[in-house]
Amino acid sequence: MNAAHDHTMGSTVPEHTTAVTQSAQSAPAPSQDESGPVPPQPSQSDAPSAAGTSTDRFAAASLIKAAVPSGTLGLDVSGWQTLSRANWTTIYSQGARFAYVKATEGTTYTSSQFSEQYNDSYAAGLIRGAYHFATPDTSSGTAQATYFVAHGGGWSADGKTLPPLLDIEYNPYGATCYGLSQAQMVSWITDFSNTVQALTGRLPAIYSTTDWWTQCTGNSGVFVNNPLFIARYTSNVAGGPGTLPASWYQYTFWQFADSGTFPGDQDVFNGSLLDLQTFAATNPVKTTQPAVAPSLGRNVALAETTAGKVYLFWKGNNGDLWIKTKSGSSWSASTDTGRWIGPGSGLSASVNPSGSFVVIWRGAMPGSG
């Protein structure tokens, strides 16, 4: 237990990693053709290291070359990492392009390093965001969200600011689920999420593990609109983060190791740098899964307007971008846009209230309509 109440993101994960690794399985690849996606069958410790000063630890971490997954690399840090602007310049030169920085915990703690880390990472060229370590047994989701936003957890559409992030994981102080029932936990997260959205204009991303999410929310599927930051440490990063919580069909960020090239935890964004820049700058109206979800994978994307019109995009077997729309309960016919994606993958999409859309994929130029 850390009496200072300054836990890092993922500080409780390593002791649970074995269970998560054994239970996680890679998601199956999507099956699709020009007629549309095929429907599925129903169905680090936060204590400082004793190995020298923070500068020594930074230098040592810089020498580690761990296996990394594909995507855009980044890191997350807290008050335990004392980093200078020169450190952040080195971090950028080593390939990091984003950082999540701890701002708050509960309603009483603000990281002493937050302002420096948040501003210096920005100055070095990284896209950065703030995160909050949740303690659902100490105060309401609304109270903690309000405290978080008032102490650094904001967002702006400048292309350099990531959405606020809720870090909700194993309780470092007691019972795994903080003494809340699964229904109470879902309600707490909902209150936090809704309050952050009301105060910043954007839904927060959610950091957790599949194991914790299953135990403490009953594997809730109601947070599909919140980007997922999944935590899973594995030596086989090529195999992906394994089974995701029920709310999500793909991850946005993945914390894949608690040490490596960069200080703090090692993270990856599920897409290219252009995808990351678009994600930071764009506040999607709504993203969701239809009532009968198609087999969603890296070559399928969904977006929905406030009016309820759903856009479904996918890469057909001919390499083109295909589209169909849904108004009410009826889907339109599948249409080939004629835009060739070729070897590209990892579709993402957003739709403006006017109905115009932007679709981005890896390996090719973005298309719009």
Active site residues: 76, 167, 169
Paired with 359 in beta bridges are 349, 367
**In the block, residue with structure tokens 């923070």:** 54
- The closest of 157, 105, 82, 160 to 128, measured between CA atoms, is 160
The Cα 272–Cα 127 span in angstroms is 13
Beta-carbon count within 10 A of 47 CB = 12
C-beta of residue 6 within 8 angstroms of C-beta of residue 46: yes
Which two tokens mark 287? 């993203």
Across the chain, where does the E strand assignment appear?
A: 32-33, 36-37, 72-77, 98-105, 109-110, 127-133, 165-167, 205-208, 228-231, 253-257, 265-269, 300-304, 310-315, 320-327, 330-331, 335-340, 345-351, 357-362, 367-368
Residue type, 340: W
- Element spanning 62, H or E: helix 54-62
Classify residue 356 as exposed, middle or buried by CB count within 10 Å of its CB (0-12, 13-18, 19+): exposed
The Cα 312–Cα 324 span in angstroms is 5
Classify residue 255 as exposed, middle or buried by CB count within 10 Å of its CB (0-12, 13-18, 19+): buried
φ/ψ (deg, to 5) at 114? -60, -55
C-beta of residue 200 within 8 angstroms of C-beta of residue 43: no
